[in-house]
Structure 1
Amino acid sequence: MFHQDLDPTGSLTLSALLALLPLIALLVLLGGLRWKAHWASLVALVLAIGVALFTYSMPLAQTLDAGLYGAVLSVLNILWITFNAIWIYNLTVKSGHFAVLRRAFATVSDDRRVQAIVIAFSFGALLEALAGGGGPVAICSVMLIAIGFDPIKAAALALIADTAPVAFGGLGNPITILGTATGLKPEDFGAMAGRQTAILAIFVPFILVGVADGRRGLRQAWPAALTAGVTFGVCQFVFSNYWSYRLCDIFAALVSAGAIILLGRVWRPGESETPVAAPVIAGGSVDDPAFERRVGPPDGDSKADVVRAFAPYAIVIALFSLAQIDAVKNRLAVIPGKPVGTVLGVPVGHVFKWPGLQHITGPTGKPVAATYVLNWMGATGTLLFVSGLLTLAALRISPLTGLKAYAETIRQFGWAIFTILCVFALSYVMNLSGQISTLGVWLAKAGGFFAFLSPVVGWFGVTITGTDAGSNALFGNLQVTAAHQLNVSPVLFGAANTSGGVMAKMISPQNLAVGTAAVGIVGAEGTLFRRVFGWSALLLLLMCVLVWLQSTPVLGWMVP
């Protein structure tokens, strides 16, 4: 039996500093020394194991078992999602329809900066709202390359854009998890998060334009950034507060994209920055329809090709929307402690307690949650896989070509797979040994200043776990407990955890690994980290100030 001791050294500050060591090492190796993510994450994992063994006195077998548990979780929660998302993209490339999609986006505007907003911000938010995981970063990165951005900048833009919708991503899953972890109404957390992230969303398109083209971009394309940010933020606020936090990102994404399309009818940047032109078709002895679609027919794309180009993403939207119908959702749900349903006599999943971890108890003496939920039929990655199979038919791609494309997709990730396995192992070693809880309790000792630090707790959680939902599961109760101690609204601090966490999505090692793998620069995670860390820190600072003001009479009226 291993009982978590949140202060194993007798000094909470010293214990917290030791618990912080793996995270500091990870950030320094990535950002300071520009190590490749797989080596940086491996070193951080070894340090976390060392701290668990020699500071927290966690038995070796349970320490290694916790790491294995985390690594296995990453297969379904990250890798299965990302492989299938990129596979769908690769299928559109092989058929030549991705070039048609690129030209369709160009009809919104011939300016690359405006296209970047539509693709990374609006379309990326739609993907995040439906699927979450690494899909938005992976898909949007390669789409941005297609309109002329270099790989590093494309990945950076996709990572930065993925901040605005994350709190409500996966149909509001982080908010739902926060409600489950704290026992409070998720609708209240959703409403409060909408009063925080909606403000943040206004600034994100401006950052995208600045990263894409510097001061010139801000000077010339600010109307598009303002339109996208304001419409997205207003929709996110209205839907999270007055309708459904689960659907707010879907409508915010669609409305912001529609607003930019309408803006394009009456406004164009003073000096347009156009994408790199496609090469002219050369003569050939054999017709190649895919090649002709890739370079563009002289009389424009046919309606059939345009429909097929959008078909894969329409399929994704339709399938995920269908999966949210209560009858379907309940049929596919796999919930610990409840009977597992079947479809055509086949179980939709399997639930079991992870062997070897059932003897770990938390600070309160209750056993920690170490249940593996294999919801293989209703998993996000499975829905994307089915979408890929339907894409084969829609784009008239043979099964053999599809199989080859899948093998190429897996090879494309290479070391990124190892990185993701290591980081998930790291997060669960830190979690089950008590290191993460030590950090949270230490920050909560800041007293009234904790209102400022509350988003930082969520930021740490997402940096380690890679997901806002994971951070909420870890620190949701801590935030609510600190709020009660400080006589502050628990809804405010709980929402601050999820709102602060979104800024860490762009620097979490697994998302960096997904981004570099998608654009073919595996090993450049350190360089990418340096590109986005400053924006992560700046947006986090803004969120800290906002939450602190919301805890005072200045903006206290914003708390429901």
Structure 2
Amino acid sequence: MLVSTFDPFHNLALSASVAAIPILLFLLCLTVLKMKGIHAALVNLAVTFLIALFVFKLPIGESVGSVIQGIIQGIWPIGYIIVMAVWLYKIAVKSGKFDVLRGSIVGISQDQRIQLLLIGFCFNAFLEGAAGFGVPIAICAVLLVSLGYKPLQAAMLCLIANGASGAFGAIGIPVGIVGTFGLDGVTSMNVSMMTALTLPIINFTIPFLLIWLIDGFKGIKEVLPAILVTSTVYTVAQALMTVFVGPELADIIPSLLAMGLLALFLQKWQPKHIFLLNGREMKTEKHSAGEVIKAWSPFYLLTIFVLIWSLPVFKGLFAEGGMLAQSVLKFVIPGSSIGMSVDLIGATGTAILLAGLTTTASTGAISLKESVGLLRKTVAEFWIPILMICAIIGIAKLMTYGGLTVALGEAVATTGQVFPLLSPILGWVGVFMTGSVVNNNTLFAPIQATAGHIIGTNPSLLVSANTAGGVMAKLVSPQSIAIATAAVGETGNEAALTKMTIKYSFGLLAFVCIWTFVLSLIF
């Protein structure tokens, strides 16, 4: 916060109401006015800029600097990650690996409800744990479209499925980062353990919801054994990981176990009625085990490189005094006091870049020239979504530095013993505006912990509620919506996708709110 006060009207309720305008305006633009995402983002950026500058008195230099910081971070690392992830997918398609990969999935089951469990839920969770930052939504939505799902339908399903894994994206960073704040009585392990009181219920339910969305209760009945295998294995494994190990592998191990055990189960059992969205079975060639392993290699490589990039030893190379510290550009944005740090090599996008280059080099089906051409095409396709993301992050920065987020947090925290009921809403707001559970916890975890100490509720419970509530906002966060629509070639239809997902976001949020309040009476 770079302003003298977060309460410019000396009336917290009024100040918080004004601070909420960017959030309400965004929802209004996307749902009622049905504006394109890029137009909604730019209008909102202008309105937020004026509110921060003239109402909350953020100096002009800091206001402009906030927007510049948002633009830079929207391009690097977020835009970088998105472009690299889609580029890797295009390499897999061009090289022929994708057809074999798709065939390996269809070979497990022709039933498209089963394929949704394998790709939309299990593989989605795996990529969330390995990479995060929109990678699972982009890749899995495209995979589903290639299997016959309608573009916006595929995007919606992947967004909803992501609600089971978003809390532990990118090697558990959203929860792991809490341990760096030095909060009294709150550690990342405490929060990780507390998530096991809420998230397993949601995790177990989401596979049922996914099948219901495409085939109703009839579909649930027909593939119930497969749903139970997926839900039970993933839910139990993640609960055990979060309680006894920590957040780092809480997506990766459970998703691999669920995918593997579901594939084994399907060798012995298949639904009596094969559900096909377009009424036709997808014909695929038979491939050897070696060919299937090679076809999945882009994603093995993605995982390996991202895991290396996430290792503390590797990250230490880019820290102050590290061997590669010079590759991190650090500067202060001119005219402001806002510092920037741009990690050229240590960014997750570089790990995906290496996966793409290695895939290109290891197959003769695509040349380096063709691969570079695919990269140019990807950049051309994604410049509008990335511009939208830049605007959204600019809004988030203006709200943070201008004190708008603090005003919202302080207003909610004044509710006393009712606060646990509203605690997840604060998390939802944080992710809706920033698109990131990491940023959400950075903004609001200290407020949640402080409120917990004041009202006598376990502060780790409230920080976990902040995390869980935030995950429910990923379903409709403008940043997530922009990534999803761009991935399936539906840029400009952000309003339609938001309308498709928002009721599920609110429904899951309502459950988290009520359940957190119940838990607050116990802990």
TM-score band, normalised by shorter chain:
over 0.9
1:339 to 308, 321, 325: 321
AA partner of residue 329 (structure 2): H
AA partner of residue 331 (structure 2): F
Question: Aligned pair 1:209/2:211, yes or no?
Answer: yes
Following superposition, the deviation at residue 85 of structure 1 comes to: 0.4
Q: Which residue of 2 is the match for residue 349 of structure 1?
A: 328
Counterparts of 1:255-294 in structure 2, within 5 Å, are 255-274=257-276
Q: Which residue of 2 is the match for residue 478 of structure 1?
A: 447
TM-score, normalized by length of structure 1?
0.89
Count of residue pairs brought into register by the alignment:
520
Q: Which residue of 2 is the match for residue 510 of structure 1?
A: 479
Structure 1 residue runs without a partner (length 5+)? 281-294, 359-369
How far apart in 1 are the matches of 2:153 and 2:36? 18
1:196 to 195, 198, 201: 198
Q: Retained in 2: the 8 A contact 1:341–1:348?
A: no
Q: Which residue of 1 is the match for residue 367 of structure 2?
A: 398
Q: Retained in 1: the 8 A contact 2:122–2:255?
A: yes
Q: Which residue of 1 is the match for residue 181 of structure 2?
A: 181
Question: Aligned pair 1:219/2:187, yes or no?
Answer: no
Following superposition, the deviation at residue 212 of structure 1 comes to: 2.2
Q: Which residue of 2 is the match for residue 240 of structure 1?
A: 242
Question: Aligned pair 1:322/2:308, yes or no?
Answer: yes
Secondary structure of 2:20 counterpart: helix
Question: Aligned pair 1:380/2:348, yes or no?
Answer: yes
How far apart in 2 are the matches of 1:24 and 1:324? 36
How far apart in 2 are the matches of 1:129 and 1:122? 11
Q: Retained in 1: the 8 A contact 2:316–2:322?
A: no
Secondary structure of 2:164 counterpart: coil
How far apart in 2 are the matches of 1:41 and 1:93? 32
How far apart in 1 are the matches of 2:91 and 2:239? 36
How far apart in 2 are the matches of 1:540 and 1:116? 23
AA partner of residue 57 (structure 2): S
Question: Aligned pair 1:437/2:406, yes or no?
Answer: yes
AA partner of residue 342 (structure 2): L
Counterparts of 1:530-545 in structure 2, within 5 Å, are 530-545=499-514
Counterparts of 1:103-118 in structure 2, within 5 Å, are 103-118=103-118
Mean CA deviation greater in 19-28 or 268-277: 268-277
AA partner of residue 215 (structure 2): D
Secondary structure of 2:481 counterpart: helix
How far apart in 2 are the matches of 1:116 and 1:537? 23
Following superposition, the deviation at residue 452 of structure 1 comes to: 0.8
How far apart in 2 are the matches of 1:393 and 1:448? 60
2:433 to 458, 464, 488: 464
How far apart in 1 are the matches of 2:281 and 2:378? 26
Q: Which residue of 2 is the match for residue 63 of structure 1?
A: 63
Q: Retained in 2: the 8 A contact 1:312–1:394?
A: no
Mean CA deviation greater in 187-196 or 460-469: 187-196
Q: Which residue of 1 is the match for residue 467 of structure 2?
A: 498
Q: Which residue of 1 is the match for residue 14 of structure 2?
A: 14
Distance 1:198 1:177, change over 3 A: same
How far apart in 1 are the matches of 2:435 and 2:140? 18
How far apart in 2 are the matches of 1:33 and 1:546? 33
Q: Which residue of 1 is the match for residue 84 of structure 2?
A: 84
AA partner of residue 167 (structure 1): A
Secondary structure of 1:107 counterpart: helix
Following superposition, the deviation at residue 492 of structure 1 comes to: 0.6
Secondary structure of 2:399 counterpart: helix
How far apart in 1 are the matches of 2:4 and 2:234? 43
AA partner of residue 347 (structure 1): Q
Q: Retained in 1: the 8 A contact 2:432–2:476?
A: yes
How far apart in 1 are the matches of 2:488 and 2:514? 35
Distance 1:47 1:325, change over 3 A: closer
How far apart in 1 are the matches of 2:512 and 2:74? 29
2:382 to 409, 413, 425: 413
Following superposition, the deviation at residue 268 of structure 1 comes to: 2.1
Deviations 1:223-281 (A, max 9, x none): 3222212211111110111123201211111111122113313332232113659999x
Q: Retained in 2: the 8 A contact 1:308–1:394?
A: no
AA partner of residue 287 (structure 2): D
Q: Retained in 1: the 8 A contact 2:309–2:348?
A: no
2:297 to 287, 311, 314: 311
How far apart in 1 are the matches of 2:290 and 2:225? 33
Secondary structure of 2:304 counterpart: helix
Mean CA deviation greater in 394-403 or 465-474: 394-403
How far apart in 1 are the matches of 2:90 and 2:139? 10
AA partner of residue 341 (structure 1): M
Q: Which residue of 2 is the match for residue 229 of structure 1?
A: 231
How far apart in 1 are the matches of 2:335 and 2:227? 52
Distance 1:327 1:54, change over 3 A: closer
> What's the C-alpha RMSD, in Å, of the aligned pairs?
1.9
AA partner of residue 82 (structure 1): I
Q: Retained in 1: the 8 A contact 2:8–2:56?
A: yes
Q: Retained in 2: the 8 A contact 1:38–1:419?
A: yes
Distance 1:402 1:549, change over 3 A: same
Secondary structure of 1:495 counterpart: helix
TM-score, normalized by length of structure 2?
0.95
Deviations 1:458-479 (A, max 9, x none): 1100000000000000001000
How far apart in 2 are the matches of 1:275 and 1:301? 24
Deviations 1:410-454 (A, max 9, x none): 122242122111101111011110111111111111111110111
| Identical residues among aligned pairs (%) | 32
Q: Retained in 1: the 8 A contact 2:61–2:336?
A: no
Distance 1:536 1:490, change over 3 A: same
Following superposition, the deviation at residue 182 of structure 1 comes to: 4.5
1:252 to 251, 254, 272: 254
Q: Which residue of 2 is the match for residue 422 of structure 1?
A: 391
How far apart in 2 are the matches of 1:54 and 1:77? 31
How far apart in 1 are the matches of 2:316 and 2:297? 27
Following superposition, the deviation at residue 59 of structure 1 comes to: 2.2
